[in-house]
Structure 1
Amino acid sequence: MAALYEGYTLCGLTPAQNQANSGIQGVEAERDSDHVVVTDSTRSVTLYKVSDQKPLSSWTVKQGQTLTCSAVYNSHTKEYVAVSDSKVIRIWKEEDILLDKAFKATVSSDVWRVHCVAGGEPVVLFHRGAVRFLDSLLSAPQQPIEEVLAQEEAIRWSTNIVTESQQFVIFTTEQKGDHFLYLQRLNPNSLQRYRLEREEPGLSPLSFSVSYRDKHIRLLYLYPNGHVYQSVVSVRGPVADEGAQPLPLPRSLLLGLPVGDGLLEEASAQALDDAHVAVVGVPHPSAGSGKDFLCIWNTNFQTLQAGKEMAGKIYGQLWSFCNKVFIPHGKTLSVIPYECPKSSLAAALGKLRQAKPEESKATTSVPSWNNILHEEKAHPSRTVETRKTRTSRKSQSASSLTNDQILELIKTTPVEEVQREVELLLSRTDIQDLQPLVGQIASTLVSRSLDDPAFYTPSSLAQLVHTRCLCHSVCPDLVLLALERKDYFLCQLCLQFFPDIPEAVTCACLKAFISMSDVDAENASLEPDSVSSMETLIAGERGPVGLQNGFSPSSAGEDRSDGLVGAGGTRAPQDKEKTLTPPEQICPVGLHKAVLLNEVLQTAYSDSFLLPHLKDLSSQNVVLFLQYLQFLYLKYSQDAFPQMPGSRSPSLTQIMDWVCLLLDAHFTVLVMTPEAKGLLLNLHKFVKSQVRLVSELGKIEGSLQELNKMKMAKDVGQYSIEIIELF
């Protein structure tokens, strides 16, 4: 069945005062599946990296100017295109800072939208229905623009698609209650016009979406009465003659959605594939009134397959890219991953039959039609097996249980039996799609563990994480459950394998690890390789003394004004330096605690989201964590190759980033803490050494660039002397 996973916030919204508009004109795909361009309803365009929930760049037009269509990305030229004040086309690159200084051209007629999709050229659709390629329009911006639409006919929606050999601009219009569909073929130009069938008097479509399949364009549209229709148009349809009446457009009813007592006001339907439709703003059949939901419906079997309640007002806007839904609600724009497996009746009813090992290894090569058509008669014992008691069911292996039976078994049976069945299930080789099943099992185990304090299956959860089919969005309570049960091995696995752990959960792990007692930490069973790697780093002898990674003990005393405390400011005799370890190289935390902290250091994060949660740490925890980071920095700077090949350990860059984050979050508290004074002076010296290192690397880079620019002589003879001057 289709599924909606845990969503996250991409950005905040600034809705209009009347709350009727979300403040967003459009969300457009950018260079890949992880980048989108968001255009607000007034003046700004922002580029976001979706996985990081982080704005990469933002551009704004001047006060008094307004963006009148959403910006698009031209993948061929790596440029952005938008329109301000209906007639000014603006084109800029990511490195451009000010829109006013970028390229702009004024055209002779009002622009409705600029469209650009992967594999196609940017096209401009004018308010009166004319279409131009962007390049041909910019070659003569003031060229006359013809009127395609009739009087009092206005565009309501438009899009752009690219087929195997053609590019189409598709738009719908409204004229005195009638709705029309236009298919503008480009290169060569031809126009197809159709009239949509009328719905109940006074009802106009709330939303449109288009998909292309089997040389046909499929138009999906939603009416306020909850009816979702589909119209199929051939890309080789008849070309409309000028002045001819538009052809009637047949339609078929795909869904009759529940609307409650009244009509829908702000709703949208988006085709996800040939059998699934995402709908927002339509009441959930089993929820009370006044609640807004995002739902996925199966159009083949008229079934609701997934639903998620959305907090705040729904604005009837919905975008879908790369298995992610973008939906504005309340004061946020959320990203919700989804999955739509292949539609079948068994899947729609939740009865998808799993192939069994003994069936795939049958000795006979001729199938029995009696067994296929009359399975229950051929195997009467199966009916009896389903009625066995729990005691006899314990002996039943996972290979003879369906997925639904295993999920039901997890909800009721003891821990030992659950762990055995999960282990048998994961050892099977006949499961076609393991990821959805692993997510369901993990969610069921976590839900039961949260409800029943006496139930917990650490080995099963660790096995599920090891499959790499889980992520935080699929089972959002798993990490917090592991922290609650003090299962630090499971925490370590989640931090290693989950790419989408939120910053709040990362900080919860950090707070738990740094606050735990050394006794609890040493009793924890952690991954052996990470423990061995950290043990080697702590107990290893120092390498040769020298300038490594921009820092050396001797350099610590070069600047006495920094007041470096205990960082090698006084030179010790060479023989003592090999045997004595400076105080800073004594690890301030235990071995196992250090291993867990290393996992936190390597977790992905966004600065703006992590900083607020770091402020919840106490001053004692911050000082201890900074001391540990100082220890790692000294080891990495002075020891020879502390990072063993293949070992999982934080990089020097990650260490310095966390130092800066902690100082940003707690600088005032640290300045007022007496025991942090020497630590801050040391860290200041570390930062200066890194700045010096980067500066030297910059000089080397400049020298190499100059060498690269030099043209080598084609014939230098058998002997030559060249003088190279580096500035």
Structure 2
Amino acid sequence: MAALCESFTLCGLGPSSGVGLDGGLLALEPGPDRDHVLLTDRGRTATLFKVSDQKPLGCWSAKHGQIITCPVVCNFETREYIAVHDDKVLRIWKNTDVNLDKAFKATLSADVYRIHSLPKGGPVVLFKGGAVRTLDVLLEAPQQEIENIISDEVIKWSEALMERQQPVLIFATEKNGDCFVYVQKLKMNNLHKYKLEQQELSKALSFTAYIKNRIITLLCLSSNDCVYKFLIPLQQNTEEEEQILPKSLLLNLSVSGSVLKGTSFVVLDKDHIAVLGSLATAGEESKECLTIWNTKFQTLQTSKELPLGTSGQIWCYEKKFFFTHGKVLTVVIYKCETSSLAAAVGKLKDSQAPDVSSFVDWNTLGDEELVISFQSQQSVALKPESGMTDASTTVFENELRQVMSKEQMPDFQATIGCVVTALINRCKANPKYYPRNLLLQIVENQDLSYSLCPDLMVVALEKKDLHLLQICLQRFPDIPEEITYACLKAFLSFSDAYLQRIDLNLESVICYLDIELNNKEVKAEIVENGFSTELEQDIWETKITKKHHVTSDSESCPVGPQKAALLNAILHSSYSETFLLPHLKNLPAQQAILFLRYLYYLYVKCSEKITTTLPGTSPPTVNQIMDWLCLLLDAHFSVMVMLPEAKELLSKLHKFVRAQVRFYSELNKIEGSLRELQRLNHQKDPHTYSVEVLELI
């Protein structure tokens, strides 16, 4: 889900504010610090603002008769500012410089379209003729000859991106109604040109782009009220001068009879985009508004009417929207949550979980056979009944790895899902065949889901491939509760001695287990949030000897690090209580007690610090721990009460919770007292000076 939160005015726009409004701003760019933005008007002025304080930190103006033609950007390496006025005059200055006319000046030999500044890639200059130079190269010889690449085409949009610490510049041009896209890799100095497949009688209004897995995803807002997606692989093997990029519909900007006539848009995350435009309903006057759309479920999430009108421009930095509204520049804070069915009907994965991309049209998937086109344009068919030799299997797996490293296919995830399904079907037909390393590589490096390869985890359970199961639990967002339970039962059934021989990812446990082992003999008594459990009394206390009050059980993890890592993967998995609870009731009593002891151990570890978070990479959260504690007790409470070995554990858990309840109760009392003091202070005369001593009882 997405929501628009509070909004505020950053500055006024007009002659009195020093920031012009004719046709909107020239641009808004990030400043030298996270809370800073640079505003460039369509005139002579550039202003640096601190957003949280809503005040300008600096303002620079070109002298009368000069026009700033290129938005001011910040060189993040030197903390200097760069601008171009009158198309060819480059200016560079620092915060301490007051007069822009006295700043560094260099006159270039060609007109500049835009300067892009990357935090780690340095400033990049794009000329109107399509040539690209880094700022360092340009300053060495400002009058160097600049080639004309795009001839009669006009640049409409450009963006600089980082890919593997290498800057990549992408810009779109237009000529006679046709749109072209150029991709320039600066370090390799190679340029690729593409022609965009367009919808008839439509025009490209706005572009944005991002890079993931060596593929540029270019999004285009079209005049036919749609957003289209184009995929551009960074690694090219073709020598064609111009390729046609096929489009796919990402989003239709219509809902319940209303159509949004978008003017500009920005990408918020993998599932959400924000669009600024006019929402038109039949028989009603159109209204300008800011909207957030979910591209996965094709829904309008939220909107905000803008009755004073806008310039049609929108920028997005640090979870904030910036746009003109009337004669002011407005800032709106927003929030977005991960979109998934798990969020709607079950427990959502932890926010630290890996990215899972939206999957493609299920109707495009094959049944049991898939043909993959390789670089040589030959095709290899993989069938479950195929009788490939070891040599041919090795060749296929090597070629498949090459294909995965390039990702040139539009429906790549769906294609890889079909390949995995075909491999698993062959494993079923031939028990001796199990390409474990290949399957591990695919699951680790590709955004797959359980639905794309439903038998993968079943076969992994049969093969006791615990490492693959661990990765699947961490990455798949849609694992059925039956499979989650089967994994839990399997993990609990293996001995720690057996698991020590298996290579697993221990990042989620190694930090707090190391801390725990280094301090194993330091404490002799449980102290939780300032309260000792020795002081807690209950009906079972007379049956528990004093030695059980020491922290021998709570100081040491009841399972080894390998089993703890596997159980953490279970805690991170998505589930619905309604569907999981019946399966948990079938868990053997001894395994249920072991799991409950581990959950209690985690709960105590979380409560030792104020932050209630465990150290390490993607450890279980306190909410996940509590949810599973409740689930396990709901499923086995009557059994736990009857088992003698469970009574001590339940007693400790009961006393620990009581201690925490008492602690938070005291905090609530303090909070109430402070609120009462605050109320009394408001009633007093603020001009009266007094010294008071307050005593909290």
TM-score normalised to the size of structure 1?
0.50
Letter in 2 for 1:117: L
Partners of 1:270 and 1:431 in 2: how far apart?
36
Secondary structure of 1:317 counterpart: coil
Letter in 1 for 2:674: E
Aligned to 2:427: none
For 1:671-690, list aligned pairs within 5 A: none
Cα offset, 1:183, TM superposition = 0.4
Secondary structure of 2:118 counterpart: coil
Letter in 2 for 1:185: K
Structure 2 residue 72 is the aligned partner of structure 1 residue 45: no
Aligned to 1:208: 207
Partners of 2:52 and 2:108 in 1: how far apart?
38
Partners of 2:256 and 2:223 in 1: how far apart?
11
Q: Contact (CA 8 Å) 2:258, 2:281: kept in 1 or not?
A: no
C-alpha distance 45-378 of structure 1, shift in aligned 2 (>3 A): closer
Partners of 1:327 and 1:167 in 2: how far apart?
28
Partners of 2:65 and 2:262 in 1: how far apart?
29
Cα-to-partner distance string for 1:525-583 (whole Å, 9 max, x where unaligned): 6418x95xxxxxxxxxxxxxxxxxxxxxxxxxxxxxxxxxxxxxxxxxxxxxxxxxxxx
For 1:49-128, list aligned pairs within 5 A: 49-128=50-129
Q: Contact (CA 8 Å) 2:23, 2:311: kept in 1 or not?
A: yes
C-alpha distance 136-307 of structure 1, shift in aligned 2 (>3 A): same
Partners of 2:21 and 2:78 in 1: how far apart?
36
C-alpha distance 207-377 of structure 1, shift in aligned 2 (>3 A): closer
Cα offset, 1:46, TM superposition = 0.8
TM-score normalised to the size of structure 2?
0.52
For 1:526-605, list aligned pairs within 5 A: 526-527=673-674, 593-594=680-681
Partners of 2:623 and 2:261 in 1: how far apart?
51
Q: Contact (CA 8 Å) 1:26, 1:39: kept in 2 or not?
A: yes
Q: Contact (CA 8 Å) 1:160, 1:168: kept in 2 or not?
A: yes
Secondary structure of 2:120 counterpart: coil
Once the two structures are overlaid, the 10-residue window that deviates more, 7-16 or 139-148, is 7-16
Structure 2 residue 309 is the aligned partner of structure 1 residue 313: yes
Aligned to 1:164: 164
* Larger Rg belongs to: 1
Structure 2 residue 365 is the aligned partner of structure 1 residue 366: no
For 1:296-311, list aligned pairs within 5 A: 296-311=292-307
Partners of 2:207 and 2:255 in 1: how far apart?
18
Structure 2 residue 286 is the aligned partner of structure 1 residue 290: yes
Secondary structure of 1:366 counterpart: helix
Q: Contact (CA 8 Å) 1:192, 1:239: kept in 2 or not?
A: no
Cα offset, 1:258, TM superposition = 2.2
Cα-to-partner distance string for 1:651-710 (whole Å, 9 max, x where unaligned): xxxxxxxxxxxxxxxxxxxxxxxxxxxxxxxxxxxxxxxxxxxxxxxxxxxxxxxxxxxx
Aligned to 1:13: 13
Superposition RMSD in Å? 4.3
Cα offset, 1:30, TM superposition = 1.7
Cα-to-partner distance string for 1:80-121 (whole Å, 9 max, x where unaligned): 001101011111111111101111111011100011021111
Cα-to-partner distance string for 1:376-399 (whole Å, 9 max, x where unaligned): 7987xxxxxxxxxxxxxxxxxxxx
For 1:461-472, list aligned pairs within 5 A: none
For 1:186-585, list aligned pairs within 5 A: 186-201=186-201, 203-238=202-237, 245-258=241-254, 267-283=263-279, 289-347=285-343, 350-353=344-347, 365-366=488-489, 375=578, 430=626, 526-527=673-674
Q: Contact (CA 8 Å) 1:218, 1:230: kept in 2 or not?
A: yes
C-alpha distance 63-200 of structure 1, shift in aligned 2 (>3 A): same
Partners of 2:107 and 2:114 in 1: how far apart?
15
Cα offset, 1:2, TM superposition = 1.4
C-alpha distance 86-377 of structure 1, shift in aligned 2 (>3 A): closer
Secondary structure of 1:94 counterpart: coil
Secondary structure of 1:136 counterpart: helix
Cα offset, 1:213, TM superposition = 1.1
Cα offset, 1:310, TM superposition = 2.1
Secondary structure of 1:137 counterpart: helix
Structure 2: runs of 5+ lacking an equivalent: 350-480, 491-574, 583-621, 629-660
Q: Contact (CA 8 Å) 1:22, 1:329: kept in 2 or not?
A: no
Letter in 1 for 2:190: S
Partners of 2:131 and 2:253 in 1: how far apart?
36
Q: Contact (CA 8 Å) 1:125, 1:131: kept in 2 or not?
A: yes
Cα-to-partner distance string for 1:598-619 (whole Å, 9 max, x where unaligned): xxxxxxxxxxxxxxxxxxxxxx
Cα offset, 1:294, TM superposition = 1.2
Secondary structure of 1:191 counterpart: strand
Cα offset, 1:21, TM superposition = 5.0
Cα-to-partner distance string for 1:44-73 (whole Å, 9 max, x where unaligned): 111111111111111111111111011100
Cα-to-partner distance string for 1:277-336 (whole Å, 9 max, x where unaligned): 111104177995422221111111101122222232132211111211212222222111
Letter in 2 for 1:213: K
Of Structure 1 and Structure 2, which has the larger fraction of its residues in strand?
Answer: 2
Letter in 2 for 1:126: F
Partners of 1:272 and 1:113 in 2: how far apart?
23
Cα offset, 1:427, TM superposition = 9.9
C-alpha distance 195-643 of structure 1, shift in aligned 2 (>3 A): farther
Q: Contact (CA 8 Å) 1:227, 1:255: kept in 2 or not?
A: yes
Q: Contact (CA 8 Å) 2:29, 2:73: kept in 1 or not?
A: yes
Letter in 1 for 2:274: A
Q: Contact (CA 8 Å) 2:173, 2:179: kept in 1 or not?
A: yes
Partners of 1:273 and 1:332 in 2: how far apart?
27
Letter in 2 for 1:138: L
C-alpha distance 430-41 of structure 1, shift in aligned 2 (>3 A): farther
Secondary structure of 2:101 counterpart: helix
Secondary structure of 1:135 counterpart: helix
Partners of 1:261 and 1:595 in 2: how far apart?
51
Letter in 2 for 1:527: L
C-alpha distance 294-430 of structure 1, shift in aligned 2 (>3 A): farther
Q: Contact (CA 8 Å) 1:114, 1:122: kept in 2 or not?
A: yes
Partners of 2:315 and 2:693 in 1: how far apart?
44
Letter in 1 for 2:48: L
